[in-house]
Every structure is written in structure tokens, then in C-alpha cells.
Amino acid sequence: MLILNKPMGTDIPSSQITPEAIYQERRLFFKSLGIAAGSMAFLAATARQSLAGMTALPDFMRANNHLSDALTPFKHITSYNNYYEFGTSKSDPAEYAHTLKTDPWSITIEGEVAKPITLSLDDILKLAPLEERIYRLRCVEGWSMVVPWVGIPLSALLKKANPNGNAKYVELISVQRPSEMVGQRSNILDWPYNEGLRLDEAMHPLTIMAVGLYGKVLPNQNGAPIRLVVPWKYGFKSAKAIVKIKLTEKMPVTSWMKANSNEYGFYANVNPEVDHPRWSQATERGIGDGFLSKRRKTEMFNGYAKEVESLYRGMDLRRYF
Amino acid sequence: MHLQLKLATTKKLVFVLALWPLVSIGLQAYFDQLGANPVELIERHFGKWTLIFLCLTLAMTPLRKLTHNGQWVLYRRMLGLFVFFYSTVHLLCYVGIDYQFAWQDMKDDILKHRYVLVGFLAWLLLIPLALTSTKKMIARLRTKWKKLHRLVYVIAILGLLHFFWLIKKDMTQPLIFTGVIVVLLALRIDSSAFKAKKST
């Protein structure tokens, strides 16, 4: 179980990128297999990348969750990024993120835990089987993408450190290396970037740590080598290039809360009824939908209400935005 | 006669050059270079060019004073009309491409979001300036015309606010535009203060 640490920057030869059509076809193939076997579980049969020379991720389970919309093309997912560590323009990460060295890499889990632990990336990949998850990523700026991530549940990592009775929150801290991350040389945000979740949110099965995208190693501009993905929250919650996880009793103050607490709350659940002062949250533009397509209606909890609304029962979501 | 011909030629040249924002976005579209979010890219393109033409328009009077050459002012009206033109294209992108004529959604957007509101107000204020830009109207309104066209300062402030309030964190670009506009306005104030001093 070894991730080949091949830099996956903007210079990937196009021959190494699975065209979306083939990718979708393969998924369809496995889907039909699953139906034929009369069991969706069969869908989880491991699928190996079949294109020669594409030694990327270890085997992983193909996604069995389906969104109605098509996947956002790989080129858009990897060229339109908010990753201020590499600059504030959407095109900066694709241009500058290759300078980050993602090997070796480890994550330290500390704070309110029975046994603080440092796990290498290889250790982490052994904690649970890799799974593909197709999630909608909804940015607070009013756009969304449909992304096929590959990762493991965050809960698998947290369990390894064994949170104690005081642990109520989980703080996730991104890497700080100004020499490798050009955007960190200015104080546009309070570095290192940090985000936070309530422990029950962090343990939720939908919350994953992603190491892959489109069946390949996660490109640097998307948060390589390992990033958080919380699909029912706005994109900024899903911190990239994580090096430290701290379990705490008190709610962590995140980078965006420090930058502007009126606009960015701790919860940041996708909610079409609670507007951001700048952007309407009622609708969103689908990236890659093309220019004559309509905005789509934003769904409560980004379409994951059934799975997560019980976490927030009785809470005033206007107040805890 | 010769001079007039020359002026007409340079005016035509300036007019053609001023169409560059349309050409450049057309080329980007043709070569499939509009990126992941083409709607946002096009909207911002015309928004930025509106501000650039606003700066150019505001530069004509100070340039006349600095160079002691009256010719600059001859381009002011055309440039001002391009401000109106590009702001209208910017607005039409919002109405037609971004919101696809969903009037209720747009109404909510304008009223709820201050950056949209000030941008819309700036465009509304440009209308009377565009309508009164003809020679006939200048002659008819005389001193009132001058007062009316001072609205351009209000429009400049609203336009800058529109940009500032849109930006999440990195204020570099709106700050550059603010710097340019502040310098252009200061050049006017300075020279008039200088004149006042001289006459006492």
C-alpha cells in the first residue's frame, strides 16, 4: 500500500488522465455488475486502474453513491481552486502548488486523546479501506462541483488516537511552509490555515480524509497529500494538506472566523435560507455546466439533509451559521 | 482642415482601441480559454473594463492641465460613453447570462447584497450622464450640465465600493483602482488650490 509520490501538478501528461467518458463508462460497468449480482455490495468490488503507466492509488472501492449530475471535468476541478496558501486567484493553486513537497508526510493527533500519535501517510492508508465518494462541493461563493474523491473516514484516524471524555471538538491544522507555499508569505489569513468540527460531525461517516481524485493521487492544488472533505458544509471547512489534528474541549477559532466572524461561522452548513452578506446562498452555479445553463437551487445541507440533520436538531441555524 | 482631419482620425483610432475588451473576450471564448467559470469571468471582465474607462475619463481633465493641451478633453465624452457602454454590457451579463432573466431572484440579490446594490445605483446614475452627453444637451443645460456631470465622482465612489464589497479578502485590485482615482482627483484639487493661492 504505497502511494507513488509522483508530483501531480499541472504538468501531468494528458495521456495519464482518464478521460471522463471512460471513467464514467467504467463506473457504469461496475454499476451493472452490481445490479446483475443483485447486490449493491458487489459494487464495492475493488477496481484496479487499467491504463498502463497510471500507478496512482492503491486499490479502492468504487463509489456507490450517485448524484444526479455528471462529474465536473477533471480539468476544472484542478484549475479552479480556492487555496490561499498559493495565492488568492482561482488559477494560482494550479500554477504554484507543485512547489509543496508532499513526501514524507505525517499527521499528529493530540490534545484530548488517550494516546497522542503521529501517523505517516502509509500508516493512515492502512487504517481503513480506501473508498471513492462522489460528493457535491459547494463553495460559499455560490458555485459547486461534483467531485469523485478517494479517501478514508476521518473517524478511522480519530479512533486510532482514542479521544477522551473531554474531547468535544476537532481542530484540523494545515501545513505551514512559506518557502514552499508562496501565498503564505503574505498575511492574507492567519497561517497556518485551521478549521474545526464538532466531534460528532468529525465522526460522521460522510466526513472523509481524501487522498485521491478521479481515481488518482490527489493533485497538489486540491490539497495533497491529504485533506478533509465535509460535503454538507461550505468548501472552506474542508482544510487541505493537513499535518495536525487536535481534539479540544473548547470550540476552535478558525482562520476564516478570525478573518471575518460576521461572514464565516464555525458551522458553515450549506443552507439556502441563510444568506452570506455578499452572496446569495439560494442558488449556485455548476462549474463546467457551460455558460447558458441556469443556476441550480442550493439544497439544505447541500443535499445531505437526510444523513446529517439529526446532528443539528433543535439548533437555531440562523444563529449558528 | 489638416488638423481637423487628424483629430477625426485619432478619434476613430481611440474608438477602435476602446473596443479591445470586446475583442479580447471574443478571442478567449473562441480559443476556449474562458475557464471553469466562464460566466463569472465574463462578468468580471466587463466590470473591470468599466472601471478602467472610468479612470481614463477622469484622467482627461488633469492631463489637459498638466500638458497645457486642450485636446485631451475632446476624448472625454467618448471615453465617458464607453464607461456607460461597458457597465451596461456588465449589467446585461448579470441579467441575461448569470441570472437568465430570473427577475425575482435578481431583485432579492440587489436588495440583500450591498455590493450588488451600489453597483446597480452607479449604473442608474450613469444614465442621465449618457443622455445629456450630446452637444445639444450641453448647450441647453449650460451651468446645470456641469453640476449634473459632477455625479461622476459619486459614480466613481459607488463603483469602487462595488468592487471592495465583492472581494472576500485580497483587496489588492480595488486598492489599485482607488489609488489611481484618488491621484486623478487630487490632481484637480491641487491645481485649483494652486490657482486660488496665486490669485490672492
- Chain B residues whose CB is inside 8 A of the A282 CB are 105, 108
Please name the member of A143, A277, A291 whose beta carbon is closest to the beta carbon of B97.
A291
Q: Where are the domains of chain B?
A: 37-199
Query: What is the model's pLDDT at position A58?
Result: 86
Of B36, B39, B98, the CB nearest to A80: B36
- The pLDDT, as a whole number, for residue A24 is 60
Contact A139, A234 (CB under 8 A): yes
| Residues of chain B with C-beta less than 8 angstroms from the C-beta of A143 | 37, 40
The yes-or-no verdict on residue A14 having pLDDT over 70 is: no
SS3 A131: strand
Report residue A8's pLDDT band, with 50, 70 and 90 as the boundaries: very low
Interface probe, candidates B25, B28, B32, B37, chain A, greatest A C-beta count within 10 A: B37
Q: Which residue among B36, B97, B100 places its CB closest to the CB of A287? A: B36
What's the pLDDT band for A191 if we cut at 50, 70, 90?
A: very high
Residue A43: the pLDDT is: 34
Question: Is A6 or A80 the better-scoring residue by pLDDT?
Answer: A80
**Residue B143, pLDDT score:** 92
What is the H or E stretch that residue A285 is in?
strand A283-286
Strand order in the sheet with A106-111: A117-120, A106-111, A242-248, A169-174, A194-198
Distance in angstroms (rounded) separating the CA atoms of residues A231 and A82? 16
> In B, which residues are within 8 Å of A290 by CB distance?
38
Residues of A in contact with B118 (CB under 8 A): none
User: From the CA of B192, how many Å to the nearest CA of chain A?
Assistant: 39
pLDDT tens digit string along A260-291? Answer: 998 999 999 999 999 888 888 999 999 998 77
Residue among B37, B97, B109 minimizing CB distance to A280: B109
8 Å CB contact between A33 and A42: yes
**pLDDT of A44 higher than 60:** no
Amino acid B197: pLDDT: 53
pLDDT at A59: 87
Mutating which of A295, A296, A298 best tests the B interface, going by the most B Cβ atoms within 10 A?
A295
Nearest CA in chain B to A256: B169
Place of cell 486567484: A89
The answer on pLDDT for A53 being more than 90 is no
Of all residues in chain A, the one with the smallest CA distance to B115 is: A278
pLDDT at B196: 53
Task: Provide the grid cell at B27.
Answer: 478571442
DSSP letters of B60-110? HHHHHHHHT-GGGGGGHHHHHHHHHHHHHHHHHIIIIIISTT-HHHHHHHH
Return the higher-pLDDT residue of A279 and A153: A153
Which is more confident, A85 or A8?
A: A85
Residue A48 has what pLDDT? 35
Average pLDDT, chain A: 86
Q: How confident is the prediction along chain B (200 residues), in pLDDT tens digits per residue?
A: 556 668 789 999 999 999 999 999 999 999 999 999 999 999 999 999 999 999 999 999 999 999 998 889 889 999 999 999 999 999 999 999 999 999 998 999 999 899 999 999 999 999 999 999 999 999 999 899 999 999 999 999 999 999 999 998 999 999 999 999 999 999 988 655 555 555 44
Given a contact cutoff of 8 angstroms between Cβ atoms, the answer to whether A254 and A248 are in contact is no
pLDDT band at A61 (very low <50, low <70, confident <90, very high): confident
CA distance linking residue A266 with residue A281, whole number of Å: 17
| Full DSSP string of A82-122 | --GGG-SSTTHHHHHGGGS--SS-EEEEEESBSS-EEEEHH
Q: What is the fold of A67-312?
A: Sulfite Oxidase; Chain A, domain 2 (3.90.420)
Given a cut of 70, is residue A56 above it in pLDDT? no
Residue A289 has a pLDDT of: 87
Q: Which of A186, A280, A293 to mutate to test the interface with B (most CBs of B within 10 A)?
A: A280
CA distance A230 to B132: 55
Enumerate the H helices of chain B as residue ranges.
Answer: 2-17, 20-30, 38-67, 76-92, 103-112, 114-131, 135-141, 143-149, 151-166, 172-199
Tens digits of per-residue pLDDT, A28-38?
A: 544 444 333 33
pLDDT computed for residue A35 by the predictor: 39
